[in-house]
Structures are given as structure tokens and as C-alpha cells.
């Protein structure tokens, strides 16, 4: 079949840059982790924990996560629609504007220009840049879908579209602020209202950036890697609508026991538990697609990443609803348990899927065979061990900490002072840092493998190579 003239050029650029930002995110993660065990590593005013931590989180979510979203969406939309990208020029602009936005974010955060709202720290001029970026991206994807040459829209396209509108709505509402100067603004909402709006944003950033897009990738790259179709397209559709509908109710599970009205908290709790169903809809769909294909877990490193990724997603979406229950929240909220939850999601689920997607893409967009499959397997074990070390140490730490915070003497007084509980965290924070280092080495191996593939990889089969040059 004569293949369409897909635009891979831009996909290559997005892959390269997102990988770079991924490296930065993980590196800064390791730095802040060591700052927590040794405060002498703070170098004021710029390099203190308070300023670096938001750089870590934003580089992780927006530089790495969204960077890979840009790369994979632009690739998937062309293949699934059997048509070239609507506007390559616009995509080029998007690439450079994306990098400018990430750099501007990092610089302003270092300078201390921040709104303090988690995952939305950047001040209003950068909000404006993000909005431009997203509109340009959404327009390109949607126009490509509209002029598609394949009538049926595969489920990945659905998740992509949902994420496009979802992010737009969330970001705009939560960005509402009154500027004082170029680098300072005050939120349009106050106190409890601000908290409620913000965590509606915060949790759905998880939904629209760290759930729907990786699901779109998973639904695409799993069948592509195994060569067998997804188990049930219709199941994925039911899961899609339920997920989309339910996620938006759950923001207040970050605000249990706070002054936010009780009924909002209760709704958030209920919907969080119900979310298990659509989340597991996708997990089960993934597992059942492996029917008769489980041997590929041994033979095909891509499948290994993807299935481990969806497994972490499955665990994440059981643990999350648990944390959303009032009694459990009373115990673990504010403790180190929560970062363990977060990193199973980001280092396990999101990053595993991103690594797999990039491993799948690189040979195809560069027309070269992967430099080394053993290295890809080595990376798999490094990041798996790194992440498990990270999360397990902090789950234990979190439970311990929660236990000590709530421990009471028979006479009704507290058993431990705050510092007595805090010093107990140090060993676990050390272990976490070491887990982070192992993960970091994994990422370095990944990048080495990619660079060697691009530089010295064998030219792949003529067909793939031809596609690569197209």
C-alpha cells in the first residue's frame, strides 16, 4: 500500500525535547530529595527546596508528560486518521513556543515568581503562553481529525479529544487572577473558594494530563506492539464516558476535613470510589487483550513496559479511591504516603507508558533499528526497581509518621512531639533518594540508547526506513 506522507519530522523534534525535559525533571527530583535529608544542599536564594520543588513537579508534568503527549498525539492522529498533519507550520511554531514556555517557567520559578498553587505555580504571563500553546495544539489535532480519511474514530482519538477540551477548561478557570505587575498576581478567588477551585483543577490535571493521554497512548501502542487488537472497543467506550463524567466531581478529596462544605467532600468521596470501575475498565481491557499473548511479556520489551504501566495504573486507581475515604484520609493526608502514591503514578504509570511509546516511535520516525534491546531491558529493571524503592520506602514512612502523629498517651496527651516524628523519616528519605538515583540511571541508559540508535543504528527495513524519511 502506498503510504501517506505523514509528517514525522515534528514528531522527532518533540520526542527529543521532551526527553531532555524528562531528564531535567528527574535530576531536579533527585536534588530536592537530597535536600530533604541534608539541608546544607540549599543554596539561597535560588536553589532552595521551596523554589526547586515546583520546578521538579512542573518539569515532570509539563516538560516531560505534556512533551510526550505532543509527540505521540501528533503521531497517532496522523496514523489513526490516515492523513498528514493539518498544519506542519503551526506544529513547528508549537514546538518552539513549547520550549520557550518551559524555559520561561523554570527561570521565573527560580526567581520566586509563583502563585503557590500546585501544578499551576507559573505567573499569569506564562499562563497566557500556555493558553496559546494549547489552542494551537488543539486546533491542529482537531483539524486533522476533521479531514481524516478513516471514517471510524479509534478510542485513542476519543481520549485525545477529551484531554484537549478538559485541559482547556481547567486551566482557564484556575488561572483567573488579578495582576499587580508582570510577575505578581492575586487569585480571583479567596480562601475556601480558592481551595475548592484549585483542587478541582489539581485532581483533573491528573485526569486530563496524567490519565486520559497515557490511556490514549496505551490503547494505541499496546495493539501496535503485540499485533493483536484491543480486547473490546465497546468496553473502552463505556469506560471513556464514565471516566470523563466522574472525574470532575472528585477534586475535594484533596480537601477532606478542611472547611470546604461537607457535601462537596462527600460527593468527592463517593465519586472517587466509583471511579474504580471505569479505571479498571481500561486495565481489564488491557489484560484481556493479552489473552494468548502473555509469552510476549518475555519476548517483547515494549509489551513489558506497557503491561507494567497499566498494572501501576490499576494499583494507582485502587489506592487513590482509598485515600479519598474520610477515615483513611484522616490518617495519611499530609504524610509521606501521598508522595509515594504520586510517584507510583508518575514514575510508574505515566513514565512507563511514555518510555514504551518513545521506544516504539524512534525506530519508525528515524528509520533505524533500536540500538540495543538488552539496554532497553536493563532500563526497564532500573526504573522498576528505582520506582518500587521510592514508593515502598515512603509508604512505610507515611504509615509510621501517621501513626506517630496520632499516637496518644492514656492521659489524653500526645505521645510524640513533631520533631520526634520528623527525625524518624530520615532513613526512609535516604532510601527514597537512592531509589531516585537508580531511576535516574535508568533514564540515562534510555537516553544513551536513543542517541546511539539515531547516530549509529542500522537502517531498518526499506519500508520502515522509507516511512521514516517521508
Which member of 101, 317, 391, 449 binds ligand HEM (CB under 6 A)? 317
State residue 10 phi and psi, 5-degree precision. -70, -35
Question: How far apart, in Å, are the Cα atoms of 190 and each of 178, 202, 254?
Answer: 12, 17, 17
Total binding residues for ligand HEC by CB under 6 A? 4
State the Cα–Cα distance between residues 367 and 385, nearest whole angstrom: 31
Closer by beta carbon to ligand HEM, 376 or else 394:
394
Whole-number Å distance between alpha carbons of 102 and 52: 14
Closest CA to 221 of 355, 23, 343, 349: 355
Is position 253 an interface residue for other proteins (rule: CB under 8 A)? no
Question: Which cell numbers in the block locate residue 442?
Answer: 535508568
- According to CB under 6 A, which residues from 333 to 362 bind ligand HEM? 333, 336, 338-339, 341-343, 345-347, 349-351
Q: Which stretch binds other proteins (CB under 8 A): 19-27, 166-174, 379-387, 445-453?
A: 166-174
Residues 381-420 touching other proteins, rule: CB under 8 A, are 405-409, 411-415, 417-419
DSSP tag of 459: B
CB nearer ligand HEC, residue 186 or residue 418: 418
**Smallest separation (angstroms) from other proteins to the CB of 70:** 19
Select 38 or 463, whichever has its Cβ closest to ligand HEC. 38
Letters for 31-70 (x = contact with ligand HEC by CB under 6 A, - = none) are: ------------------xx--------------------
Least gap, CB of 80 to ligand HEC (angstroms)? 45
Give dist(CA 111, CA 133) in Å, integer.
23
* Radius of gyration (C-alpha) of the chain in whole angstroms: 22
The answer to whether residues 53 and 121 touch, using CB atoms and an 8 Å cutoff, is no
* Binding-residue pattern over the window 185 to 214 for other proteins, x denoting contact by CB under 8 A: -xxxxxxxxxxxxx-x--------------
Using CB distances below 5 to 8 A depending on partner kind, what does residue 64 bind out of ligand HEC, ligand HEM, other proteins, none?
A: ligand HEM
- Which residues in 112-141 contact ligand HEC (CB under 6 A)? none
Cβ atoms within 10 Å, residue 234: 9
**Between 67 and 281, CB nearer to other proteins:** 281
The dihedral over CA atoms of 185, 188, 193, 197, expressed in degrees to the nearest 10, equals -80
C-alpha distances (whole Å) from 435 to each of 26, 33, 165, 387 are 12, 10, 36, 6
Over the window 56 to 95, marking each residue x when it contacts other proteins by CB under 8 A and - when it does not, the resulting string is -----------------------xx-x-------------
155 and 233 Cβ atoms separated by less than 8 Å: yes
Q: Is 422 in the site for ligand HEC (CB under 6 A)?
A: yes
Q: Which residues pair with 368 in a beta bridge?
A: 459
| 385-414: contacts with ligand HEC (CB under 6 A) | none
Give residues in contact with ligand HEC (CB under 6 A).
Answer: 49-50, 419, 422
Amino acid at each position: 500500500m502506498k503510504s501517506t506522507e505523514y509528517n514525522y519530522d515534528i514528531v522527532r523534534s518533540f520526542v527529543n525535547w521532551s526527553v531532555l525535559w524528562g531528564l531535567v525533571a528527574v535530576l531536579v527530583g533527585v536534588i530536592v530529595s537530597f535536600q530533604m535529608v541534608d539541608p546544607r544542599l540549599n543554596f539561597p536564594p535560588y536553589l532552595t527546596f521551596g523554589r526547586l520543588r515546583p520546578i521538579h513537579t512542573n518539569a515532570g508534568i509539563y516538560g516531560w508528560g505534556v512533551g510526550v503527549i505532543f509527540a505521540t498525539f501528533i503521531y497517532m492522529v496522523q496514523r489513526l486518521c490516515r492523513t498528514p498533519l493539518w498544519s506542519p507550520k503551526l506544529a513547528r511554531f508549537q514546538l518552539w513556543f513549547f520550549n520557550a514556555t518551559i524555559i520561561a517557567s523554570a527561570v521565573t520559578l527560580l526567581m520566586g515568581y509563583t502563585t503557590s498553587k500546585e501544578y499551576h505555580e507559573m505567573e499569569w504571563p506564562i499562563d497566557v503562553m500556555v493558553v496559546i500553546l494549547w489552542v494551537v495544539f488543539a486546533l491542529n489535532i482537531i483539524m486533522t481529525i476533521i479531514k481524516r480519511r478513516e471514517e471510524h474514530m479509534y478510542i485513542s482519538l476519543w481520549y485525545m479529544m477529551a484531554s484537549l477540551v478538559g485541559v482547556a477548561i481547567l486551566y482557564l478557570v484556575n488561572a483567573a487572577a488579578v495582576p499587580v505587575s508582570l510577575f505578581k498576581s492575586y487569585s480571583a478567588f479567596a480562601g475556601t473558594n480558592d481551595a475548592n477551585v484549585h483542587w478541582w483543577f489539581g485532581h483533573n490535571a491528573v485526569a486530563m494530563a496524567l490519565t486520559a493521554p497515557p490511556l490514549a497512548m496505551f490503547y494505541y501502542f499496546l495493539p501496535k506492539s503485540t499485533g493483536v487488537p484491543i480486547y473490546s472497543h465497546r468496553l473502552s467506550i463505556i469506560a471513556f464516558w464514565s471516566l470523563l463524567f466522574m472525574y470532575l466531581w472528585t477534586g475535594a478529596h484533596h480537601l477532606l476535613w478542611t472547611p470546604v462544605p461537607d457535601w462537596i467532600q462527600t460527593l468527592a468521596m463517593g465519586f472517587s470510589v466509583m471511579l474504580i470501575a471505569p479505571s479498571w475498565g481500561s486495565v481489564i481491557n488491557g489484560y484481556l487483550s493479552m489473552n494468548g499473548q502473555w509469552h510476549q511479556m518475555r519476548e517483547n520489551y515494549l509489551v513489558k513496559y506497557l503491561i507494567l504501566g497499566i498494572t501501576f495504573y490499576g494499583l494507582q486507581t485502587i489506592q487513590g479511591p482509598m485515600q479519598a475515604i474520610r477515615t483513611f484520609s484522616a490518617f495519611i493526608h499530609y504524610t509521606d504516603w501521598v508522595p509515594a502514591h504520586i510517584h507510583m503514578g508518575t514514575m510508574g504509570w505515566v513514565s512507563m507508558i511514555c518510555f514504551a511509546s518513545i521506544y516504539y516511535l524512534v525506530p519508525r520516525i528515524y528509520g533505524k533499528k533500536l540500538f540495543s534491546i538488552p539496554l532497553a531491558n536493563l532500563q526497564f529493571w532500573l526504573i522498576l526497581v528505582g520506582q518500587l524503592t521510592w514508593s515502598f520506602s515512603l509508604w512505610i514512612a507515611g504509615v509510621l509518621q501517621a501513626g506517630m502523629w496520632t499516637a496518644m498517651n492514656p492521659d489524653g496527651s500526645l505521645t510524640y512531639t513533631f520533631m520526634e516524628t520528623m527525625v524518624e523519616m530520615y532513613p526512609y528519605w535516604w532510601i527514597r533518594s537512592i531509589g531516585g538515583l537508580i531511576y535516574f540511571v535508568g533514564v540515562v541508559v534510555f537516553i544513551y540508547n536513543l542517541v546511539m540508535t539515531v547516530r549509529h543504528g542500522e537502517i531498518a527495513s526499506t519500508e520502515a526506513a522509507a516511512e521514516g524519511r517521508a
